[in-house]
Amino acid sequence: MISDIDVLTSPTLKYLRERWWDDDFTEFLAETLRPRAGNRILDVGCGEGLAEVHIGRLHVSQLRLVGIDLMVERVMIARSEAEAHNQRVGFATADASALPFRDRAFDATFCVAVLQHVGDVEEAVREFARVTVPGGRVLAVEPDNTARYGYASIPAGQRAFELSVRFFGALVAPRGDAAAIAVGPTLPMLFARHGIEPMSVRLFPVSKTQLGAPPASVWARRRSAVEQAVETAPGDGARALGREYLDALDAYAREAQQAGSSFVEIQNTMLFATLGQKSA
């Protein structure tokens, strides 16, 4: 999978699903969730309805899809997308840690790149188990954002990557988000703890390679994202680190331009797709 990931602008792979979802992943989803006629499937953190559109193309008769998202704007987009593809899908604005559904309401529950943004991951997984029927499947696909790899062929790039880790780490530390952004490889343990028997773990690489100096628009986007993060940074220490990072980012841009066609930048991370079955 190739995506517009950028460790230099965010501590997490935010809104990842809209950027790399492809037919191979839809096939994987169908293989793991095994949608059948009359099944009820819940998408937690549906975003803009990408999963619903792709699953709808499988043409499973009487399949009942429901998508929830915390952001009402994204739910509205998802509803419009489903209607544009003539698909009947139920959408609602809801919190993954407090799902507004009765016990055992769904034959399968899944989420993609959602738990990394949830404050109480334990409670969210407990909710997944609660709303899934015994014997039903639960799938969660999440990264380990603490293990993202960045390489630059020039010294200023390596410095910028190092400072990005320190700066974004300073942003999430006061919020206690460190565990959530590293959630990917912990999913089997979390599943087992809440009555979901782990069945398999599959890795999906998400990577990007840049050959030759990036255009000015890339550097402008990067700088804008970091400036916004500095403005909301908690405390003088984090803001000072952010300003140091901005200086390093500017130096990186200058050196990349000088390097021209010999410039190389590589970013990579892994998504951990954990499949489980709700215990009887």
- CATH number for position 123: 3.40.50.150
Same domain, 155 and 63: no
Cα distance between residue 80 and residue 84, in whole Å: 6
Residues 42, 71 within the same domain: yes
Whether residue 109 is predicted with pLDDT greater than 80 in this model: the reply is: yes
| 154 within some domain | yes
The burial class, CB within 10 Å (0-12 / 13-18 / 19+), for 30 is middle
**Domain with 43 in it:** 17-145+177-204+271-278
Nearest to 137 by CA among 18, 17, 251, 36: 36
Count the domains in the chain: 2
Please indicate, yes or no, if residue 1 is contained in any of the structural domains. no
Identity of the residue numbered 65: L
| Residue 51: its H or E element | helix 50-56
Tell me whether residue 251 is in a domain: yes
- If asked whether residues 68 and 38 sit together in one domain, one would say yes
Mean pLDDT of 231-243: 92
DSSP β-bridge partners for residue 268: 149, 207
Same domain, 133 and 152: no
pLDDT band at 56; cut points 50, 70, 90: confident
Note whether 91 and 102 are same-domain residues: yes
Map tokens 């953190």 to a residue: 45
Q: Are residues 65 and 190 in the same domain?
A: yes
Q: Mark 198-236 as b/e (b = at least 16 C-beta within 10 Å).
A: beeeeebebeeeeeebbeeebbeebbeebeebbeebeee
For the chain, give the mean pLDDT.
90
Residue 158 shares a structural domain with residue 259:
yes
Structure tokens at 203: 């890795």
Residue 11 lies in a domain: no
Q: Quick check: 79 and 93 in contact, CB under 8 A? A: no
Question: Rounded CA gap, 48 and 18, in Å?
Answer: 8
Q: Do 188 and 54 share a structural domain?
A: yes
pTM: 0.87
Q: What is the percent of the chain where pLDDT is above 70?
A: 93
Asked whether residue 27 is domain-assigned, the answer is yes
If asked whether residues 163 and 59 sit together in one domain, one would say no
Residues 88 and 119 in one domain: yes
Residue 187 in domain: yes
For residue 27, give Cα distances in angstroms to 192, 200, 273. 26, 16, 13
pLDDT over 80 (residue 220): yes
Question: pLDDT tens for residues 120-168?
Answer: 999 999 999 999 999 999 999 999 888 888 999 999 999 999 999 899 8
Give strand ranges (E) for the chain.
40-44, 64-69, 89-93, 106-112, 132-143, 149-152, 196-211, 264-278
How far apart, in whole angstroms, are the C-alpha atoms of residue 232 and residue 181?
19
**Same domain membership, residue 214 and residue 109:** no
Would you state the pLDDT for residue 23? 77
Q: What pLDDT is attached to residue 85?
A: 87
Regarding whether 246 and 153 lie in a shared domain, the answer is yes
Structural domain includes residue 50: yes
b/e burial code for range 86-111 (CB count within 10 A of at least 16 → b): ebebebeebbbbebebeeebbbbbbb
